[in-house]
């Protein structure tokens, strides 16, 4: 059965990511681990939506390096461009690229608004839509009140999250929020 996965902020080839507290000794180890974790979950037929900052490239030669990473990843990889994906990364062989930095996606009766940066308000927010973002590297606490979730690898133990697990996670957070005593 085909699944839908979400992720962000892999920062392939970005040695600055190691300074952010990632547990890897080198960029090569980080790249290899991200690929391994991705492929243990994602099947070749699955759709994967990367909500920005897939890789950091500062020279033309790295387009081939980005394609090398893409060729190792299971699934159809769709990029919603983030802050570090211009101008080189967006030219790699993704299944689709949203250069506007935002995508509306309908899956399984749900509407998802994908944008690299977190938003306070988004389209159809009051009608049950979900806002999935990256950029925060797991540093933004989910409140369980809004359907806004950081899908970046730093928030999910360096792994993508599938749609069903994401919704179940939010339901758990919502129940915790509802049962918390009011101060």
DSSP state, residue 68: H
Q: How far apart are CA 49 and CA 176, in angstroms?
A: 28
Query: Could you tell me the residue range of the domain that residue 106 belongs to?
Result: 4-179
Is residue 170 classed exposed, middle or buried when 0-12, 13-18 and 19+ CB atoms within 10 A define those classes?
middle
Q: What is the pLDDT of residue 142?
A: 67
**pLDDT of 60:** 62
Q: What is the mean pLDDT of the chain?
A: 90
Residue ranges of alpha helices (H) inside the chain are 27-41, 62-72, 163-179
Q: What residues are paired with 102 via a beta bridge?
A: 115
Q: State pLDDT tens for residues 57-90.
A: 877 668 889 999 999 999 999 999 998 888 889 9
Task: Flag whether pLDDT at 21 surpasses 90.
Answer: no
User: Using N-to-C axis directions, what is the helix angle for 27-41 and 62-72, rounded to 10°?
Assistant: 30
Q: How many domains does the chain have?
A: 1
- The CATH code of the domain that includes 137 is 3.60.21.10
């Amino acid at each position: 059965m085909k699944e839908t996965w979400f992720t962000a902020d892999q920062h392939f080839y970005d040695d600055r990511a190691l300074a952010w507290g990632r547990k890897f000794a080198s960029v090569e180890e980080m790249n290899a681990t991200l690929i391994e974790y991705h492929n243990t979950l994602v099947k070749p037929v699955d759709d994967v939506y990367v909500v920005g900052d897939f890789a950091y490239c500062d020279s033309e030669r790295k387009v081939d390096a980005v394609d090398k990473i893409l060729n190792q990843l299971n699934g159809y990889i769709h990029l919603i461009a983030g802050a570090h994906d211009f101008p080189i990364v967006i030219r790699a062989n993704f299944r689709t690229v949203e250069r506007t930095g935002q995508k509306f996606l309908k899956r399984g009766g749900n509407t998802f608004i994908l944008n690299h940066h977190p938003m306070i308000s988004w389209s159809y927010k009051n009608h049950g839509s979900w806002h999935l973002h990256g950029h925060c590297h797991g540093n933004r606490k989910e409140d369980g009140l809004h359907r806004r979730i950081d899908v970046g690898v730093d928030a999910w133990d360096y792994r993508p999250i599938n749609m069903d697990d994401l919704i179940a996670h939010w339901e758990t957070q919502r129940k915790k929020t509802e049962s918390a005593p009011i101060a």
